[in-house]
Structure 1
């Protein structure tokens, strides 16, 4: 339910009060100020107020607290404008995506009908400057990633690939002409992007072992090789392909269009996680790309790494959203599910699981909040992003596991949502660098010794 519907409901409630009651109420409070303040309440506060006004407690019962995964009220640190954007995204996900997500997840289909409405949120490339982008904070970008993943990690991944990896590659590494051609249309979601780095034989460890090659011949670049796990690639208009130059041995980036000769994208089937994401195996067979579609400022793997560092914080926020969605679903379930004549939320062992969940979730939220502040202050390092990815992906596994546990057998049914979060947490654990690789990045930073095997 949107914030406007909640306000309307409150006014309808006030209409039921007769004039004598209204006069007595006005003697105690200034109704004009009360109505003004009512309009300034956020969604969480309005929800609590509406519940208090409309719920008549049974004799001997007390009011239950609202279901809210923001235990430390980090939303209060956001500006009103940023909070409004957060709530717009939340309402969109609740109203437009949640009703259809289980069906599409089950069938491994993407809900293309949401893209037009998604575009109206105006959040693609939200942290970039110019080209129709909002030039907001990376903190807000992270909050948005959390809100998307709170309902469905697949939709969050679709958006992160498009807005973060694809748009980010062009924003950081493209020429001005390339930015002007692609970024405004991608910001409006009229053109969809994908990001092709991971390969079948070496995974994401492509810094020293990239097998996809490029060679300049007669003014064009000829690309050969394969990419794997490339989200959005079955329907993207442009795919950022990273390839090793046969002559210089340096990594270069290319804007490969879906109609380029020699380009082929095949949908990957039978995934147990992120089933809505349309991952593809890309095969490049003498794929010809003009020099004008080479990312002009991508000349080594260090340039690729800049894109990955910028987006890794978003993946940590995705883990937070996944954990929050699972926790809130489990908490709601335990308040309604009765055993031995009582809600199971009143049992000690269930409460222990819930507290473990909210403890992990709160630690993840506060860590990511600080991580995004560092990014906005231009102080973000690889090890900062890697530590967040390591910690959040591990803790998310714990949260979703406990969420499934408190729901018993119902925890494996899609209709209760947690089963999706359990499966999708496994994908988050692996992509954007595994736990082990990110741990070695942090280990090198704190010890001064590199444990990577050359």
Structure 2
């Protein structure tokens, strides 16, 4: 008689535990990450389904809370900013997006777009006026670059800034602006009438005559996020509103690079939340008298998804180390953004199949993450744009036109 083979019990591991990524994260960065994770788990996740269903987000309340944690502009130095490592910022983005992409978008736009633009290109007066309040969450910022007809091609922007004596007068429209309707200040980019029609950045207080920010409704993605249009109708600004150190498109593009770095980590947070939810569901869901997790097809799916999540995390941590070392290049950020979002949305969709009909409800976060990632796939550079950035780096040939 064949002797029955006894298989010892195995303690289930988490997907990232399988890769041992904790060993690659420093103690201080890990502590920051854990603080943000605890906040998201206790204060945000219980309310997200309702916010998503209602198509709303209490931006000011949340900004104050994350500001008190030191998350807003956390990777910047001075002016009330925490001055953390880039890796810590990435890990914080991961935890925020494990809650919801809308929450991470709020923080990204505030810290890596609006605050970063003022911090890097602003005058000392602008920095003193806005950055401490924005770091604390007392003032909300937005970033006006994208236009209705110019997303991937910001060089075609039609928003104009014309000199009138010592003032500037801005006219134009910006679209798909996170935080726009609730912002206290907007960093707006416009083509000027200076020689060469150089693009310049302007710090626009929300109460300025001619400035309005109607909210965009009826979204199917990023519902727990405030998305707006910015309308500039004869907005008159003094010379002191200009960001003095930003001339040309390199200014706004460098800000976008900061924001998409956070997405490299953030999208993986959404994927991790989907995968951990699905693992727990598969262990408990009984089908044909045994757990869904005990089937070979289920395990094959879970293994493949964990592999992609782990590879994405290893790349993200490597890019974080490069950024902390001051050697991260824009095309490397494109590698991370393309990979993280592409794999995250694939993981979210696959997880939805494993949850069956339960996967389409807000009882579980999977469909919400999948819908949100459709937006993340598009903003801060579409997948196609990042493919072309990488292609140019490999071949030396620009193929954008």
Is residue 233 of structure 1 aligned with residue 233 of structure 2?
no
Q: CA deviation at 1:152?
A: 1.1
Is residue 188 of structure 1 aligned with residue 188 of structure 2?
no
Q: CA deviation at 1:67?
A: 4.3
Equivalent residue number for residue 88 of structure 1: 35
Equivalent residue number for residue 171 of structure 2: 224
The number of aligned residues is 393
Equivalent residue number for residue 74 of structure 2: 126
Is residue 350 of structure 1 aligned with residue 304 of structure 2?
no
What is the distance in 2 between the residues matched to 1:73 and 1:271?
Answer: 38
SS, match of residue 260 in structure 1: coil
Equivalent residue number for residue 54 of structure 1: none
Among 373, 388, 402, the residue aligned to 2:350:
402
Is residue 363 of structure 1 aligned with residue 311 of structure 2?
yes
Please show how residues 23-422 of structure 1 align to structure 2 within 5 Å.
Answer: 62=9, 64-65=11-12, 67=14, 69-112=16-59, 113-207=61-155, 209-248=156-195, 249-422=197-370
CA RMSD of aligned residues (A): 1.5
Q: CA deviation at 1:71?
A: 3.1
CA distances 1:289-341 after superposition (whole Å, capped 9, x unpaired): 21111111111111222212222211121211111111111111111111122
What is the distance in 1 between the residues matched to 2:284 and 2:203?
Answer: 51
The normalised TM-score by structure 1 is: 0.84
Aligned 8 A contact 1:222 1:289 in 2: yes
What is the distance in 1 between the residues matched to 2:190 and 2:50?
Answer: 37
Aligned 8 A contact 2:191 2:199 in 1: yes
Q: CA deviation at 1:383?
A: 0.8
Q: CA deviation at 1:442?
A: 0.8
Aligned 8 A contact 1:197 1:204 in 2: no
What is the distance in 2 between the residues matched to 1:359 and 1:148?
Answer: 22
The normalised TM-score by structure 2 is: 0.95
What is the distance in 2 between the residues matched to 1:66 and 1:447?
Answer: 41
What is the distance in 2 between the residues matched to 1:221 and 1:276?
Answer: 35
SS, match of residue 323 in structure 1: helix
SS, match of residue 414 in structure 1: coil
Q: CA deviation at 1:246?
A: 2.5
Q: CA deviation at 1:68?
A: 5.3
Greater mean alpha carbon deviation, residues 350-359 or residues 60-69: 60-69
What is the distance in 1 between the residues matched to 2:278 and 2:263?
Answer: 23
What is the distance in 2 between the residues matched to 1:317 and 1:67?
Answer: 17
SS, match of residue 297 in structure 1: strand
Equivalent residue number for residue 42 of structure 1: none
SS, match of residue 124 in structure 1: coil
Aligned 8 A contact 2:29 2:87 in 1: no
What is the distance in 2 between the residues matched to 1:227 and 1:102?
Answer: 29
Aligned 8 A contact 2:103 2:224 in 1: yes
CA distances 1:253-276 after superposition (whole Å, capped 9, x unpaired): 011111011001111111111111
Equivalent residue number for residue 432 of structure 1: 380
CA distances 1:131-168 after superposition (whole Å, capped 9, x unpaired): 12122111111111001101211101111111111111
What is the distance in 2 between the residues matched to 1:286 and 1:452?
Answer: 33
- Which of 1 and 2 has higher RCO (CA within 8 Å, sep 6+)? 2
Aligned 8 A contact 1:69 1:328 in 2: no
Gaps of 5+ in 2: 1-6
Q: CA deviation at 1:76?
A: 2.5
What is the distance in 1 between the residues matched to 2:46 and 2:15?
Answer: 20
Greater mean alpha carbon deviation, residues 110-119 or residues 224-233: 110-119
Q: CA deviation at 1:397?
A: 1.8
Q: CA deviation at 1:63?
A: 6.5
Equivalent residue number for residue 3 of structure 2: none
Larger radius of gyration: 1
Q: CA deviation at 1:118?
A: 2.2
